[in-house]
Amino acid sequence: MAGVIQDYIRRGEPLPATSDEQVGARLKQSWDEHDPLLRVSVKRLGYEAGIRHPHVTRILNQHRDELRHAATLLGVEHPTARNAALVPRADGKGEVPWTRPLPGHTQTDWLIERVRSACLTVIAALTGMRMSELVEIPTDFRLPPQTAAGGLTRHRIRSKRIKGARHGGEWDQWVVIKEVHQALELMGRLLDDPAQETHLIGQHNLNYGWRAHYLRQWVNSEDGQRLGLEAIPDGPVNLRMLRRTLALELAHRPGGLLAAKVALKHVSVATTEGYADRPGGQQSIFMTEVGKEEQIRNLQLTVQAFREYQQGSLPAGPGGRDLAEFFASVDGQLAELAQKAPTAKRGDREVTSLLAKRARTLHLGVANYCWFIDPAQALCLKIAGAPVTKDSKPMAGMCDSARCPQATHHPCHRPVWAESAQTSTAFIASIGRGNKAERQRLQAELARTERVVAQIDAAYGPVHHEGDGDGPADQ
């Protein structure tokens, strides 16, 4: 034992710390809270000395002076991950060690469970998979990736679809984003016995309510905040809620209803559950909920565009002048209200009430906002030759926002147009000299795209080049 203590002094390494629970037990046994040995893991030192069953009291009686000298000289610290690698904080504010030193007695089991819980949250929230589908994900979940247009990679995984399928389930595939694929791979590396286990999660390891509780507890703790993680608000959370939230997020985007039904495997289940045909049933409730979410989002985007106008940034695009005139009239009404009641404190309520009607005409496009006020002026309906009625809706697939008088472009749309310009430039460079017609067509399209980018830059300035994070292009 004396030799082990001398080795620590020779290396200049702090003595191993014991657990907080053991420190509390010692204080109850009348230990002095200022005793240098209060946090020392005497049992771990005994193991290092080759003692099979270390007797803490006996060791302390025989080596107390040596241990106190070493603890005072070297300090006390948990033994695992003392020199943890630096990682960037989640909020971008510098780098920190990925973990603080870990108590040796835990053997990092609790850390593995936290990582599993985080992976499961990513998978459930970004795929919307049901519990029955999650527990059926096999260890060989990977399907060959597919290369899509533009050089994008489409990641695919497999699992069994239980709901609406025959007994035992049916194998199905899910197209997922890269982060989900990474989370699944990490869960595979964290399996207790990879050679024997056939599923990544398994029903006995799911228990998502328990996992969500302790994951939130850790993220909101000092450890999570040290890593720059955003605090998770209080409130219940379960797999059904994550699935519902994803469905709403998908549904209020252009073409999102169809995407939600495909991604969440509603295509075959909707009929058996009566989603589509039952009056006032789940499909009706879902559509109502989607409509409310769309109106909230549209009003937020309209208010944001109005605030940009007040700061001197006029909307870009063919419909920019009309929208600017509307914003000018709203600004005038606000000025009149201020004159009538100069002492009243102004909030956002007056602004939202004046903008609400225009917000109801807003339809989100991937590369523009469509203010569908007058169907007779809608270029998409004219191109499609569709009849114009009071119930007409914009046709996003036929949209040509560079020419439509009801379309506007905002900072969040610039990355889409800029990427289109880069793609067109690359295509033009790859076209042979003999294909002049295709080259001319692409050059005309490139000129139009560059014109739109220039208009956005002229309206909002280069500070907005990367988008503001609030529009559909960023999401």
Tokens matching residue 35: 């005793």
Whether 230 and 293 map to the same domain: the answer is no
Whether 34 and 73 map to the same domain: the answer is yes
Domain ends where: 25, 59, 77? 77
d(Cα 197, Cα 137) in Å, to the nearest integer? 12
Whether 177 and 224 map to the same domain: the answer is yes
Whether 118 and 72 map to the same domain: the answer is no
Whether 200 and 72 map to the same domain: the answer is no
Does any domain span residue 135?
yes
Range of the domain at 61: 2-77
Q: Are 85 and 227 in contact (CB under 8 A)?
A: no
Max avg pLDDT among 19-23, 52-56, 214-218: 214-218
> How many domains does the chain fold into?
3
Whether 165 and 229 map to the same domain: the answer is yes
Q: Are 379 and 365 in contact (CB under 8 A)?
A: no
pLDDT for residue 273: 32
Is the pLDDT higher at 196 or at 294? 196
Neighbours of 187 (CB within 10 A): 22
Does any domain span residue 332?
yes
Does any domain span residue 263?
no
Whether 290 and 170 map to the same domain: the answer is no
Whether 66 and 167 map to the same domain: the answer is no
Domain ends where: 77, 97, 129? 77
Burial 194-219 (b: 16+ CB within 10 A, else e): eeeeebbbeeebbebeebbeebbebb
pLDDT for residue 154: 86
**Which tens digits make up the pLDDT trace of 137-182?**
999 999 988 887 667 788 899 999 888 788 888 899 998 989 999 9
Lowest mean pLDDT among 79-93, 174-188, 248-262, 328-342: 248-262
